[in-house]
Structure 1
Amino acid sequence: MAIVAIVMILLLFNYTIQLLIMNEIDKELATEVKNFNSFVKNKEFDLQVNAGELRKDLSFVVVDKNNNGIYMEAFSLEDSALIIEEISDAEKEVFDVVIVPNKRYHLMMSEIPRNSLFPNGSRLIVAKDISYISNTRYFSSYIMAITMLVLITFFVTMINFTMEKIFNALRELDDFGVALQGERVPDLSLRFNKRYGNNEIDTLINTLNHSIATMEDSFKKMEEFSSNVSHELKTPMTSMKSMIEIELSKDRTKEEYQETLIKVLEEMDWLIGITKDLLTLTKNPQGIQASFEPVNLSKVGGEICDIMEIIAIDEDIDLKWDFSAIEDELVMGDSSSIKQAIMNIINNSVKYNKKNGSVWVYGEKTKELVKIVVEDSGIGIKKENISRLTERFFREDSVRTVKKSGVGLGLSLVKHIIHLHRGELEIYSEEGVGSIFKISLPRYSEGG
């Protein structure tokens, strides 16, 4: 493509130069025709005596209306005869190029004014020998051909060199791919560290390394996630198995069996809760977003607080709420998912609160956002742990002793749901003082 562009530029340049030269010659000839005609208007003007006033580098010939030569200056007889024959049928005024043996003329033909030195109907031909221009053109064409040949050779060499580098890189990348596969399992710790000084190849290598690093990180998280899930699922199942085995080891009273079954039921409920959270985390985001519809956030918040008030009373926690600031405000989302997120936060604020503590839930709004804020007077969170609260299976040491403290999926689940709704979860906390959780969702207005 580059070669074609250069060739086109050279051709255009060559054509432009020639066009400029020919235009200049046309101007010269037109000027000289004008001068000649002004001379011959004066019938006393003697061309033989005053021929020196004509330009020596131009040739002049005058023909009558029958194309017979009646005056000639500088032309050879042979050349003038050939030129007269060539343009005998031409219009009154014309520019033309005529080729005669060993010469090339650029000429202008024009009618001579009536009542001049020459008979009426006579025509003047002024010509300039442009053979040197033709020679120059042939020379420039030769130079251009040589230049094109050099350029083609250069570009072919460069293309071969570049292709060789590309093929070498591909061969080495192929070898790297084989090493990456490993004998049994892929070794995702490997990176391709060689660079070739070629932007495209090096960009490809960087993309490859980034993809491998992303895969390695994903596999590590999957492995960690699987390990945590298996551990958390194993704990209640082991507990239930142990309780049942103990009960079956000897005869029990009806009351003892009933007490054990209640404990097993609690473990089952906990296990079902873990499973539901895991299913939500792994659910296809497109599936959830497909069910989005306008949701009245103040109404949802009120319904949740009505439910949580019963739990709060059992825990000696004072739960209060006020959603008047966001009354009838809508967000676009999945109602059940939003309820689950808000309930998880309020439940945490109740569960990890101080004795006779309080939880305050209210709404806020800005021009673009609708917010649910949950403030509690609970045990608070260590500063260094705030950023980790939304990690899956993360639990602070201070809450691990709380009965049925959960498996660390609650806030991870909340963040997952809020992000699906293009919202944001903010957490502010001070250890021993309490915490503030803010859910911000994009405001929706009917009709856009």
Structure 2
Amino acid sequence: MLQTVEISELNNNPFPNRIFIIGGGILGASLSYFLSREDNGRQIVLIDKYLDKLSGSTGYAPGFVGQYNESPVLTSLAKDTVSEYIKVPGGFNVVGGLELSSTPNGVENLHRRKDAAQSSGLPAEIISPEVAASLAPDFIDPSSVKAGLHFPSDGTANAIQIVSYYIREARSKGVQFLEAEVTGFATEGHQMTTINSSNGDITLSGSIVILATGIWTTPLTTDIVQFPVPIIPVAHPYTFTPSRPPRSGTPYPFVRWLDHHVYARDHGDRDGLGSYDHPPMQANPTKSAMGTWPASFEQVLSEATSHLKNRHQFLVNGPSEDRDEKRPFNGIFAVTPDNLPLAGRVPGLSNLWLCAAIWILGGAEQRSSEDEALLKALDPARFQNIEDDILLKQALAKYNDIYNRDSN
């Protein structure tokens, strides 16, 4: 996307109903799109430090959107998200999700999850190892699992396609775009008055600011918010097979080996695999969500690939000087102490809103003000009066079961 407005133009022509969205990932893009559809006379400006690429977690996410979660809030958000992504041309592929287990306790858990998913209105079915293997024959050896749980309405989101669509539609409805790195804010009383950026300060003149800044949210809010904002960036290994011709036939579902915290997917011209089976590592992202490569991740990936039938095809050695862009990488994303996004008005500042999603889940969430239970669950101030070290410990503890753990 190209810049369409200058800071001088914004400051010299104050607009009485202006909304600044900071962050151009999947959440910021969807916000600009949905807000631009409302005929309320507001001017909307989206600010990102790079308008020509996705530098945050959106650009590195594996793309899976599994709708059932043991948290009813996340299940509801995921269902709403899929209902919007599926409207985007080429934005969502309904390939299904497949969970596998090789232990009696794990199989019992699959049955429990199946019943709960069906109760929430989602199709789900327990399948035999042989049927599971038929859905992803290069991934699954039927002798290595005892059962599978198939979610046929789940799928993979094409984040780049979704963002491009939302940005294009928002632009057509008058949304302005500014390329600048936001470095901080100035406040006066209960109002934010200034956005500080690498290209100069932006005077707010009563405007609303929405932070959709993902892994960079906490440092941006430290000096202006009077309560913890525990959006913790964490390191995560992901790898690929070398390129190959696309498979023919039915696309593979997104597969998860729940006992081992490993997942894999078909990217079309290669396969991808990620693992949560390692101690959580807090990250400190600077320019992008591509983190430095910890040497320990090579062993993590070696163990993760051992659960797949085509284990020997996956690359496990980290980046090299002449590395292919599809080499193993450390993709940074955010966790929170309860695995839920932070979304809503920030108490104490009347014109600041926080909208920080987890991965790409919730990127298209649209809720009415009447949904009080959801607003309470996502309240940015819900961690008030809890010590930072406790929140950090709780957030990191969520990493290993990011897809499954109850978020109460």
Higher relative contact order (CA 8 A, sep 6+): 2
Q: Radius of gyration: which is bigger? A: 1
TM bucket (normalised to shorter chain) is under 0.3
TM-score where L is the length of structure 1? 0.18
TM-score where L is the length of structure 2? 0.20
* Greater helix proportion: 1
* Greater strand proportion: 2
